[in-house]
Amino acid sequence: MLKGKSRRARIKLSFVFFFFLIFIICLQTYLTIVNEREYMIESAIDEKVMLAETAAMSIGSAEVHAVPAHKREIVRKLAEPDDIVYCRIVKPTGEIYLSNIVEERGVLIRDRAIKTDKTVIKTDIYGVEEIKVVVTPSYRGHTVWLGFSLEKVYAEVWSMIWGSLVIGISVISIAILVFYGLISFNKEVSRANKELRDTQKQLIHSEKLAALGRLSADIAHEINNPLGGIKNSLYLLSDSVSENKKEYLEIAEQEVDRISGIVRRLLDLYRPQKEILAPTNVNFPLDDILEIVKKQFANRSVRVIKDFNPKLPAVMASSEHLKQVFLNLILNAVEAMPEGGELTIKTYSHPAGSPEVIIEFTDTGRGIPEEEIDKIFDPFFTTKKGGKGTGLGLSVSYGIIKRYKGIIEVRSKVGRGTTFNIILPIVEKNGEENERKDTHSG
């Protein structure tokens, strides 16, 4: 639980850091574009100032050498670039002496810039467009006016913005894909590691069962032979013992039968009894077991809640062995609720046609400590006090369900109760049993 919360917190923190990084990148890109725009405008103005000042000197030289045609050629050449709106030579009186726009010649303009003795830069409106104008002093009080548009600069800036947007969106998209890819990869790695751990647990448990089974097979005959002798002796003694002492013989016989049962269950771990497998509706053996133990429910003040799916698919199993598993789980649940409680038993199948049947046992008992969860299926492990349990019930149940290609899952919280899920593959219509593709999911 804590690990899951920690992982979710790390993912949230990664999201916050990721989007903060995107914000920083976007802000940096915006500031870069703004600075680049200002630089491009300044560069365009400096270029036009240089042209205007060069033209002013050339026009002054043409005036000194009395070459009027040269002045007209200078004006024409200055007006050739696409971003030049007009190129004027203005007299000290404000009259436009020369212009690349013929209609402007002779027009009077009123502007303080006509009296300037240094280069100035001003803003003007030409038509509906805002333009920049460089006014540079020339010969005998004349001034050269070079009006130009910044649309080309703005177009380059917009091109830069769109290019940056395309690159930025591409980088962000790739980053998001990589980020989600890493999250998916992390989930897959976690899932694979979990499956590996579960498989290792199953292998270790299987090895324990096999080792115990081999030991059981070796000692079972040694135990059964003297047990048989003891039982026969008790039978022979029964005729020669007085009635008031036969009670002790019956107790001895019961204890011998109990030892025989323990030995038989030990053998069943390694060499199971011959099973008669058939398509089985798990509701029926469950009902049989509940009928058998209903007296214990009443004695322990345990309320049973049944939630059986009447249209449950069949599983391939031995009804008698399923009863043994159900009885173990039910008795464990009852013993976990010494002061009474509720035992909810549900049977259902997964939605969307999943080929599994689930039998769920949920009690409101004392629960199992987290450190003991991984041990409860180990042979001879028991939490029952006073030698009441052999520690074989869940081990035998685990082995039975494993032989049916099923799994047993357990969830528990101390003080709140325990849930056991038995998951079994259903029988297909052609009579074959579905194989589970996934392993124990913990």
The domain made up of 274-425 is a member of CATH 3.40.50.1700? no
- Distances 208 to 177, 301, 324 between C-alpha atoms, Å: 46, 37, 21
Give strand ranges (E) for 258-389: 278-280, 302-308, 315-317, 341-349, 356-363
Return the pLDDT at 230: 82
Provide the token pair at 264: 């038989």
Q: What's this model's pTM, rounded to 2 decimal places?
A: 0.44
In the chain, % of residues over pLDDT 90: 13
Domains 2-149 and 274-425 are alike in CATH topology: no
Separation CA 128–CA 111 (nearest Å) = 19
Answer CATH for 184-271 from 1.10.287, 1.10.10, 1.10.3470, 3.40.50: 1.10.287
Q: Which of 94, 106, 52, 93 is nearest to 74 (CA)?
A: 52
Q: What is the pLDDT of residues 304-362, one digit of tens each?
A: 999 999 888 999 998 888 988 998 899 889 988 988 999 999 999 876 656 899 999 99
Cα–Cα separations (whole angstroms), residue 241 to 235, 238, 255, 300: 10, 5, 19, 37
pLDDT at 270: 53
Integer Cα distance of 38 and 236 in angstroms: 116
Q: What is the pLDDT of residue 439?
A: 33
Annotated domain spans of the chain: 2-149, 184-271, 274-425
Fold (topology level) of 2-149:
Beta-Lactamase (3.30.450)
* 215 vs 202: CA distance, rounded Å: 20
SS3 153: helix
Q: How many residues does the chain have?
A: 442
Q: In terms of Cα–Cα distance, which of 422, 128, 138 is closest to 285?
A: 422
Residues in the chain, pLDDT under 70? 1-8, 11, 63-68, 199, 201-221, 262, 265-275, 351-354, 380-391, 429-442
- Distance from C-alpha of 22 to C-alpha of 26, rounded to nearest angstrom: 6
pLDDT, position 442 = 32
**Distance (Å, whole) CA 224 – CA 437:** 41
- For residue 232, the Cα-to-chain-centroid distance in whole angstroms is 66
